[in-house]
Amino acid sequence: MLRSRLLTCIVVLPVLALSACGGSDKKIDTAAYTCADFNKSLRTKGDDTSGQYINKLSDQAKLGQDKKTSRRELTLGIYFACRGKPGTTKPAAGAIATAKAIKSGKFKLPSAPGTKKTSGQ
């Protein structure tokens, strides 16, 4: 049982890692890519446009770091740019600004999105 789980993990992890890198031929326009597109790509099996988007933002941002670090910072930037916002939000500029702030050490975690109170409380 343990051996089969280990084998499954060994096979599945590289597939997931490669799919996140964005290797398809689909063209991504970073200026038009929205939070809804990003979230849909994360939920859809075989859709690696979110990885392509992160790679293209990394090229645009020119953070001067290794790819792995810049992709992590940009992913956090996308998360904070999309959190609590409508799906039509375009996170590119906010993600790059967040990544640069993280790199410089001046990034402060934003507060949690406000909760809506209902009239019955």
Residue 99, CA atoms < 13 Å, CB-side half-sphere: 30
With cut-offs at 50, 70 and 90, classify the pLDDT of residue 40.
very high
* Angle between helix 49-61 and helix 35-43 axes, rounded to 10 deg: 130
- Helices 67-82, 92-104: inter-axial angle, 10-degree rounding: 120
Give percent of the chain above pLDDT 70: 71
Cα 30 to Cα 92: distance, rounded to the nearest angstrom: 7
Read off the pLDDT of residues 52-95 as tens digits, 9 standing for 90 and up. 999 999 888 888 888 898 899 999 999 989 988 889 989 999 88
Report the pLDDT value the prediction gives residue 120, as an integer from 0 to 100.
63
Concatenating the DSSP letter of every residue in 13-54 gives HHHHHHHHT--SS----TTT--HHHHHHHHHSTT--HHHHHH
